[in-house]
Chain A
Amino acid sequence: MLFEKFRLEEDEELIRIIRRHWFIPAMEFFGLAVLATVPLIFFLLLQNVPENEFFTPEDFVAYIGVFLFLSAAWTLMLVMAAAMVWTHHYLDMWVITNRRIILIDQVRLFNRQIGSFRLERLQDLNIEVRGIIATFLNFGTVEAQTASGSEEEFRGGGLPDPQGIKSLILQKSEERVRELNNTNL
């Protein structure tokens, strides 16, 4: 599993794992649910087509197998898409420890980006909550800038309670800097 690979340092404690807000995958699942009704709508439309020289009730019965086959294939594709949405939601995460922040972005299967920065290197931390829904449900973007050689920037969208995350990271960052200063004295 994941934490067997991370190998936390000595005295490093896992503080929190943060995943995107539930609203983000919920909207994606809703979109897939709407797409799942397409065969049903198509079936209802076909049933209501008036009989004419090109389309008779016998045609309808003759092609019911094709219709069922394509509907099931379509639904199977949607099941796979839903599995990807869930994977993207659950395997994407911000891992906060008392030493560093690890950001994991599961872009798609076999495309995984992992970044991390040490808390003492944190230079700037910004949050952004944009839109009515994000404001009411309290989710937004957290951007962290580090004081490494390249001034790297880490960004995570759709995170729940961005203000709380900011406070937690800043608190842990201060604790870490204090700890390092005491060690150096």
Chain B
Amino acid sequence: MLLQLFAQGLFWVIVLFWLLFTLMYAYHWFTYGTDRRISLVSLAVYLLASAPCLLVMSISLYAI
């Protein structure tokens, strides 16, 4: 029970950190990038790589 609570807390801390990082990342690319297309691709690849990690984290919470 305690482990599950700790994992849930950690999950939301990581999600919050990830959200803040994603906002900063997108801001930098769309403010300082030289090519909008490359900025979009960079953001899309980053989101596509992050999504399975977040999915596995949220699903594995139920197995703890």
Interface residues of A (CB under 8 A from B): 1-3, 17, 64-66, 68-69, 71-73, 75-76, 79-80, 82-83, 86-87, 90-91, 93, 104, 106, 109-110, 112
Contact = CB atoms under 8 A, between A and B. Distances in A.
A76 B25 contact: no
A104 B31 CA distance: 13
Interface residues of B, number: 35
Contacts of B35: 1
Interface in B8-38: 10-11, 14, 18, 21, 24-25, 28-36, 38
8 contacts: A2-B31, A65-B61, A68-B60, A69-B56, A69-B57, A73-B14, A86-B42, A87-B25
Contacts of A110: 24
Contact of B34 (A1, A66, A109): A1
Interface of B: 3, 7, 10-11, 14, 18, 21, 24-25, 28-36, 38-39, 42, 46, 49-50, 52-54, 56-57, 59-64
A76 B28 contact: no
Given A90-B33, A91-B33, A66 B24 contact: no
Contacts of B31: 1-2
A83 B46 contact: yes
A104 B42 CA distance: 19
Given A73-B53, A76-B14, A76-B57, A68 B29 contact: no
B60 A65 contact: yes
Contacts of A71: 56
A83 B7 CA distance: 25
Q: Which 4 A-B pairs have the closest CB atoms?
A: A65-B63, A68-B60, A76-B53, A72-B56
A112 to B, nearest CB: 7
